Amino acid sequence: MRFNNLFAWPLAATVALVSVPALAQDASDTSTTTTADGFDRDSHFSGIYIQGFGGLGVPGENGNTFGFDTDRNGTYNEQVTTLAGANAFSPGFCNGARGRTRDPGCAPDKAGAEYGARIGFDARSGGMVFGALVEGSRNEAKERASAFSTTPAFYRIDRSLDYAVSARARVGFTPGGGALFYGTGGVSYAKIDHDFTTSNTANSFNENNDGDMVWGWQAGGGTEVMLTNNVSLGLEYLYSRYKDDKYSVSVGQGTAPATNPFLLNGGGTNMRIQDKYFDTHAVRAVVGLRF
């Protein structure tokens, strides 16, 4: 799924959402702030709230190549070569390998459910709203990267977001008090899961996590409408980026001969997904309760 495809149904849903306040208040009544059924426009988007959300998460287009550190000095821009000096990974790279070679094709990155809950506080000043929130979330989207060697063999790393704890600010505008349009951004602390598989049974492989928790940042925006004085419904887009540079796979000798390409420069090689940033996109439906 491409990034721009995320906006087809969210844009349509946003148009529908912003018309919801008309069902909860008399939009033509501009002389009072409280409608006949007790819908108080001036009390909206101020104070403490809790919200739950669910939607779709999609990995970013970070590329699917591997980086190799043949002398284990922390620099992943080297080439693994055979004894004859040829590129041992000349068959190339793709997303999720389905076999020892590229012939069976490759599985694409996987979209998945994205869900969680948050608590926040808003302060309203006229038509402007300023707030902050703390959120816990999970995202089941999965990014895949695979490398193919001339052996032939495949090497595959999958990564996904196990959970994240985030703190964000948000600033919005509420025309008429029944709907809020806002931007949001802040920091996030997340646990990234990795899964390594290979068809190479000769070398030894050791996964280096160095702690799965990583820092990142988030930015996005959305709309929220009040269905009653206390219950809201919203739609939100959120982009997240995490610096995923703590995970690598160390390749050792195992039962392979000393002429093995992984061993020619100092006895071993480290490898990882080349792009050290893990990005996700999420589109969420949000239900909230205000106090």
Domains of the chain: residue spans and CATH: 3-290 (2.40.160.20)
Q: What pLDDT is attached to residue 60?
A: 84
Cα–Cα distance for residue pair 215/244, rounded to 1 Å: 8
Q: Are strands 277-290 and 92-94 parallel, antiparallel or unpaired?
A: unpaired
Strand order in the sheet with 66-69: 66-69, 269-273, 248-252, 204-208
Cβ burial, residue 98 (10 Å; 0-12/13-18/19+): middle
User: Whose CA is closest to 54, among 129, 134, 112, 133?
Assistant: 112
Q: What pLDDT is attached to residue 61?
A: 73
Cα–Cα distance for residue pair 239/254, rounded to 1 Å: 41
Reported pTM: 0.84
Token code pair at residue 31:
């002389």
Q: What pLDDT is attached to residue 32?
A: 45
Cα–Cα distance for residue pair 113/97, rounded to 1 Å: 23
pLDDT tens for the chain, 291 residues long, are 444 444 444 444 444 444 444 444 443 344 445 655 555 666 689 999 999 999 999 998 766 899 999 999 889 999 999 999 999 999 999 999 999 998 998 889 999 999 999 999 999 998 999 999 999 999 999 999 999 999 999 999 999 999 999 999 999 999 887 899 999 999 999 999 999 999 999 999 999 986 679 999 999 999 999 999 899 999 999 999 999 988 999 999 999 999 999 999 878 999 999 998 999 999 999 999 999
Q: What pLDDT is attached to residue 16?
A: 43
Q: Are strands 277-290 and 231-243 parallel, antiparallel or unpaired?
A: antiparallel
